[in-house]
Amino acid sequence: MADKNFTIHALAEELKSGKLTSVELCRRCLDAVAAKDGEIGAFIKYDADKIMTLAAESDARRKEGKALSAWDGIPIGIKDNICVTGETCSCASKILEKVVSPYSATAVNKLTAKGFIPFGRLNMDEFAMGSSCENSAVKRTCNPLDTSRVPGGSSGGSAAAVAAGFVPAALGSDTGGSIRQPAAFCGIVGVKPTYGRVSRSGLVAFASSLDQIGPMTNDVVDSAILSSIISGKDPLDSTSLDEAVPDFAAAALRGAEARSLAGVKVGLPKEYFTSGLDAGVKEELDKAIEKVKALGGEIVDVSLPHSKYAVTVYYILATAEASANLARFDGMRYGARVEAGDLNETYFKSRGAGFGNEVKRRILLGTYVLSSGYYDAYYLRAQKVRTLIRKDFAEAFEKCDILMTPVTPAVAFKFGAKSDPLQMYLSDIFTIALNISGNCGLSMPCGTDPESGMPVGVQFMAPHLAEEKLFEVTAAFGAAE
C-alpha cells in the first residue's frame, strides 16, 4: 500500500531542513532497487552514475542557495514511452529497444526545470497496449504486494516502483485507464488529467485522441504538486489547452486540512454499481460511500446510459489510431530492421519480429475498421457514440460536482488468469469512458479486499478542467479516517 511518509512534500521538507541530501535520497532509492527489483521487475534500466551526478549537482545548488524549487533533488520514475534525452525509449518493445531519445518530453522538461531527477525507465505493456504488464517484450513486472499477481497496466512498472518504495513518484500514461487501474491494483494514487491539460509532446503515441500523461504517487497532495508542474499550453502540442493552471497543490492541502465534503454533491452512476463487482470490492466501495456521507457529502443518483458501449467504442477508436500511429515503425527510418530480399518483405519481417502479439492484434483490428467498406459501419459510428458518452457526462455533472465509481471490477489478479483478450479488455470497463469523454479522474485506495488482502481502489471523476475540485475532494476523502 501507499507509503504516506515517502512523499514529495515530506522529502522536500527534509531536504530544506538539511536532514537529508539528494545524494542520500537517491542512494537510498538505488539501494532499494538493487535489493528488491530483481523480484519485482519494475525497471527496464537505470543509470546509477547519471542519477548520482544529478543528485550531487542538486545538493551543490541547494548549498549555494540556488535550488531550482522546493522539489530540487527528488527522484521521479519515468514510464518507458515518455522520452528523456539520451536515454532509450523502447515502449517495452523489441522494435525500439535500441532507440535513444534525442529530446525530452515537455512534461519531463517541466519537471527537470524544477530540479526533479529522472530515475530510470519503467516497464509497461508494449506500446501501452494491455492491462496487466504481461505484454511487455522485455520482462515481467510483479505486484509488490503479492508477486504472484499482476501490477496492472499499461503503467504497471510505474505503479510497482512507487508501491515498492523505489521512488516517491512516477509518470505514467493513461489511454483507457492505464494510470488509474494499476494505481488501484498497487494501492497508490493515479491521475488522468483532462485531455489537453498536459502536453503529449515526447509521449510515444498509442491513440492520440485518448492518451494523457499523468502522475502516480503515494498521496493526493503529491499528485496535485506534479499536476501543477506538468500542466499548461505547449507550442509543441497543438492539442494542449491554453488554459490557466490553478494551484492544484493548494486545493489539495485545503481539502486535506478541512477533511470535510460538506456541500459537495457526489454522483453514483447506476451503470457502474452492478452485479459484476466482486464481493470484496463492493464491500469496500459501500464503506467509501458511507464515508462520503459521514464527511457531509450529498449522494446523488445519476446515470451514464451510453457507458455500456464504452469498451466497444474504445477498442474501435484506439485500435484505429494505433494502426495509423504505429505505421511509422517500419524498420526503415529507425528501430529494429530485419533485412530481406525486397522492400515489402523487409517491412513484413521487421514488423513481424519487432511487434508482440497484442500489438499486432490491435494494428490488424484498427486497419480493418478503417478500411473501405467498414469505416462507416465501425469507426464513424463509434465517433457518434463517443459524442453521446460525452453528453452523458455533461448531463450527469449538471446534477453533481463529482462522480464516484469503482476503478476495477476486482482486485489485482494472478498472472495468466486472463489469457482471453476479451476478459483482459473488460478489466478497464470502469475507466475507459473517462478517456472517451476527455474529463479528468483520480484513482485512490479505499480499503482492502478481505479475502485476498489486496487493495481496492475508488475512482473520482470531475468535469472538463475541474482538477482543482477533484484534488480538493479526494484529498479531503483521503485525509479523513
Q: Residues 411-426: pLDDT tens digits?
A: 999 999 998 887 888 8
Q: What is the mean pLDDT of residues 269-291?
A: 94
Domain ranges for the chain = 8-255, 260-307+377-466, 312-365
* Active-site entry in 136, 154, 228, 307: 154
Task: Report the distance separating Cα 296 and Cα 307, nearest Å.
Answer: 28
In this prediction, residue 52 carries a pLDDT of 98
* Homologous superfamily assigned to 260-307+377-466: Amidase signature (AS) domain (3.90.1300.10)
Which residue carries 460525452 as its cell? 390
In this prediction, residue 419 carries a pLDDT of 81
Q: Is 79 noted as a catalytic residue in this protein? A: yes
Question: In the chain, what percentage of residues exceed pLDDT 90?
Answer: 91
Task: Report the distance separating Cα 226 and Cα 223, nearest Å.
Answer: 5
Note the pLDDT tens digit of each residue in 202-223.
Answer: 999 999 999 999 999 999 999 9
Beta strand extents in 329-454 (DSSP E only): 402-406, 440-448
Specify whether the CB–CB gap between 284 and 250 falls below 8 A.
no
Task: Report the distance separating Cα 136 and Cα 120, nearest Å.
Answer: 16
Note the pLDDT tens digit of each residue in 140-167.
Answer: 999 999 999 999 999 999 999 999 999 9
Domains 8-255 and 260-307+377-466 share a fold: yes
In this prediction, residue 455 carries a pLDDT of 98
Q: Which element (helix H / strand E) includes 75?
A: strand 75-79
Which residue carries 521487421 as its cell? 350
Task: List strands edge to edge, sheet with 298-302.
Answer: 43-45, 117-122, 75-79, 169-174, 212-217, 189-192, 440-448, 455-462, 402-406, 265-269, 298-302
Note the pLDDT tens digit of each residue in 332-380.
Answer: 888 899 988 888 899 889 999 999 999 999 999 999 999 988 999 999 9
In this prediction, residue 448 carries a pLDDT of 97
In this prediction, residue 344 carries a pLDDT of 87
> What is the residue type of 198?
V
Task: Report the distance separating Cα 454 and Cα 280, nearest Å.
Answer: 10
Specify whether the CB–CB gap between 3 and 165 falls below 8 A.
yes
Count the neighbouring beta carbons within 10 Å of the beta carbon of residue 166. 31
In this prediction, residue 287 carries a pLDDT of 97
Q: What is the mean pLDDT of residues 67-71?
A: 98
Specify whether the CB–CB gap between 123 and 33 falls below 8 A.
no
pLDDT(331) > 90: no
pLDDT(444) > 70: yes
Query: Model-level pTM?
Result: 0.96
In this prediction, residue 404 carries a pLDDT of 98
Strands 169-174 and 75-79: parallel
Task: Output the DSSP codes for 426-446.
Answer: GGGTTTHHHHHHT-EEEEEEE
Specify whether the CB–CB gap between 332 and 397 falls below 8 A.
no
In this prediction, residue 423 carries a pLDDT of 80
In this prediction, residue 275 carries a pLDDT of 78
Q: Is 178 noted as a catalytic residue in this protein? A: yes
pLDDT(1) > 70: no
Note the pLDDT tens digit of each residue in 373-389.
Answer: 899 999 999 999 999 99
Note the pLDDT tens digit of each residue in 72-86.
Answer: 999 999 999 999 999
In this prediction, residue 2 carries a pLDDT of 65
Task: Report the distance separating Cα 319 and Cα 201, nearest Å.
Answer: 20
Burial of 263 from C-beta contacts in 10 A (0-12 / 13-18 / 19+): exposed
Q: What is the mean pLDDT of residues 230-258?
A: 98
Phi, then psi, of 223 in degrees rounded to 5: -65, -35
403-435 CB burial, b ≥16 within 10 A, e <16: bbbbbbbbbbbebeebeeeeebbbbbbbbbbbb
Task: Report the distance separating Cα 369 and Cα 219, nearest Å.
Answer: 41
Note the pLDDT tens digit of each residue in 99-141.
Answer: 999 999 999 999 999 999 999 999 999 999 999 999 999 999 9
pLDDT(198) > 90: yes
Task: Report the distance separating Cα 313 and Cα 371, nearest Å.
Answer: 17
Give the residues across from 460 on adjacent strands.
404, 442
Q: Is 98 noted as a catalytic residue in this protein? A: no
In this prediction, residue 481 carries a pLDDT of 72
* Active-site entry in 90, 136, 155, 178: 178
In this prediction, residue 94 carries a pLDDT of 97
Domain 8-255: which CATH class?
alpha beta
